[in-house]
Chain A
């Protein structure tokens, strides 16, 4: 089995797990976590799609690097939003 196939298949399974978690959980922190798992998996997929011996293509590597930075920024905004909306939306959303 080649490296790119192994990590590609791992990425496929993790995408499924991440998306599953986003829908399954109600806790904002758990959702952000699951989304981050799915994000890491997408990066694995992107590199696995383009990796050929002797090494990794620099363009997808740069894209993934950009992606990681953007993910951190988006995570920060999502968590800040969770701290605000949690406070206001709690009453409607709370299970009875």
Chain B
């Protein structure tokens, strides 16, 4: 497909924002630019036809990462950590030349591989009927290459464990919330039910059209974070058993299903054909819950969230 004028504008916006993220003054502005960058990249994914990726980029790459960065920014600023360092002119020149060289080398590679044949697409299309779902990306994620995804939820869990372990060393001043919620409070009353519906839809529809467990989990997680920011929920103490159970639900369900089907199908992560669709949905529901819980815990530094009582 030939590039449309929209694509050139998106590419320019990506380059411009990427440049400003690296070159702008001060970390706060860079964080805000990065969130915008993520959304522009998500539009680029839509143009490339990768809608599943676009959803993940908008929800995780831009949204949740943005929240993580803002939490970290506040903490670093409050404790006077992190400083900018001016590099010498000669150093900057050398660095500029080297980076330009790297960019040119990668660009040459991009031009070279354009005409190569991509055989995996045909392999996926020809076997999609056996996968139990209709969306090829979900079929690859949870059936054909389910092992990758099993390890992926393992990585999320490992990251959470690292944050648990580091928690005593981080002097966190609690979770930031807006002083006067004002408009945000009204907004949250509208977005919370919408987020619940969207999250459920993404999981359910992910079997046939773009969507899926990670995107749905990110939407639910973001909803919880908004409730924290507007003061409806508050963080108190270390995440207890309930939160840990939610965070491990996905890996547990996934592992149980993959081991439990061995006697029937004869191999790890081989689902019986007629039950594949149902099993994938069960795994996806587990991953959704644990992705939401894990992302919230990662953002809040493993704090337990409670309904805010009357003061």
* A-to-B contact residues, CB < 8 Å: 1-21, 23-30, 32-34, 36-37, 40-41, 43-45, 47-53, 55-66, 68-77, 79-84, 86-87, 90, 94-95
Contacts and interface: CB of A to CB of B under 8 A. Distances in A.
Contact of B15 (A3, A14, A79): A14
A71 B61 contact: yes
Contacts of A32: 69
A55 B75 CA distance: 43
Given A82-B81, A83-B170, A43 B53 contact: yes
Contact of B95 (A2, A24, A53): A24
B163 interface: yes
Given A11-B110, A12-B103, A24-B87, A34 B76 contact: no
Interface string B128-144: 00000000110111001
A82 B72 contact: yes
Interface of B: 1-3, 7-8, 11, 14-15, 18-19, 21-22, 27, 30-31, 34, 37-38, 41, 44-45, 47-50, 52-53, 56-57, 60-61, 64-65, 68-69, 71-73, 75-76, 79, 81-85, 87, 92, 95-96, 99-100, 102-104, 106-107, 109-111, 113-114, 116-118, 120-121, 124, 136-137, 139-141, 144-145, 148-149, 152, 155-156, 158-159, 162-163, 166, 169-172, 212, 214, 291, 295, 298-299, 301
Contacts of B30: 29-30, 33
Contact of A14 (B14, B169, B301): B14
B73 A29 contact: yes
B27 A49 contact: no
B85 A65 contact: no
A19 to B, nearest CB: 6
B120 A59 contact: yes
Given A9-B107, A18-B18, A49-B110, A29 B163 contact: no
Given A80-B163, A81-B166, A84-B170, A61 B110 contact: no
Chain B CB within 10 Å — which of A10, A53, A86 has the most? A10
Given A7-B44, A27-B27, 7 more contacts: A5-B111, A7-B7, A16-B103, A21-B21, A36-B61, A61-B137, A63-B148
Which 8 pairs across A and B sit closest by C-beta, in order of nearness? Answer: A16-B103, A86-B81, A73-B159, A21-B22, A58-B136, A8-B110, A26-B85, A20-B99
Question: Chain B at the A interface: mostly helix, strand, loop or mixed?
Answer: helix
Contact of A57 (B38, B83, B113, B118): B118
B298 A73 contact: yes
A17 B103 CA distance: 8
Nearest to A87: B81
B81 A6 contact: no
A13 B107 contact: yes
Contacts of A71: 61, 65
A68 B60 contact: yes
Contact of B22 (A1, A18, A83): A18
Contacts of A47: 45, 48, 50, 53
A20 B22 contact: yes
B52 A61 contact: yes
A44 B145 CA distance: 21
A96 to B, nearest CB: 11
A29 B72 contact: yes
Contacts of A25: 22, 84-85
